[in-house]
Copies of this chain bind each other. A is one copy, B any other.
Amino acid sequence: MIEGLLTKVRSQKPLVHHITNIVTVNDCANITLAVGALPVMAHALEEVEDMVKAASSLVLNIGTLTPEQVEAMIKAGKKANELGIPVVLDPVGAGATPLRTESTWRILNEVKVSVIKGNSAEIGVLAGAGGEIRGVEAVKSSENLLTAAKNMAKALRSIVVITGATDIVTDGHRVAYVDNGHYLMGTITGTGCMLASVIGGFCGAERDYFKASIAALVVFGLAGELAAKRPEVRGPASFKTCFFDEIYNITEEKIKGGSKYKIV
């Protein structure tokens, strides 16, 4: 199902406009380049509409949100909607503070989001299934999460992606489970943010966002697995270097041999 998508990204080089946090913005730019797309970061209210016009997708990440930044996200998101450009939302820390939860809902109410991606607590809280978050990390998730996520996907007409040991992708009807990944990915900050950038890259090249999200998760997780096998890896920082290199060196052939997902 995901064959050829990486090749599409690399030949089209979609421009991925990010409005994102200050913590992982450099990693997001570099991973976007590594996967074969082009990043641009622009958050000024005065230019987000102009920048999104040139973009193939828009990634909104509330990791270090402010109310002003949320305004810029909504402005950019509305323009993206108007132009048919996919919007990927990463509601970092939704559930951790009222500002984050409410801002996520403001965005969801005003912008048609193509993909919303979060950990089990973020999606759990937003989907009304509960969940517990500490800072930006899920500490408890709901048993009803899948049902809630499917309902959320239907209601928003969006793809919902839940990251975890097994990642889940749903459009409200179909559900994909992706088993690629490695625990070392959790030892560095920002893997969630970087994944959203990679989803943005794939959605910029492939209009079936369900497929695009699965492909992004597979590529991302597989690169993590390949990196973890490298003899250079001695901890999180050497792993991170290898991980970026593996994203850059991923091929359709490696995906064919290493992807682990099923659709039910």
Contacts and interface: CB of A to CB of B under 8 A. Distances in A.
Nearest to A51: B97
B237 A55 contact: no
A61 to B, nearest CB: 12
Nearest to A34: B236
Task: Give the secondary structure class of A's interface.
Answer: mixed
When all copies of this chain in the complex are counted, the total is 3
A29 B137 contact: no
A51 B134 CA distance: 9
Given A25-B22, A47-B97, A40 B136 contact: yes
A50 B235 contact: no
A41 B188 CA distance: 15
Contact of A41 (B64, B67, B234, B238): B64
Residue among A43, A99, A237 facing the most chain B CB atoms (10 A cut-off): A237
A89 B30 CA distance: 23
Contacts of A17: 135
Interface residues of A, number: 61
A26 interface: yes
A64 to B, nearest CB: 6
A111 to B, nearest CB: 20
A246 interface: yes
A187 interface: yes
B98 A50 contact: yes
B189 A44 contact: no
Contact of A97 (B33, B42, B236): B42
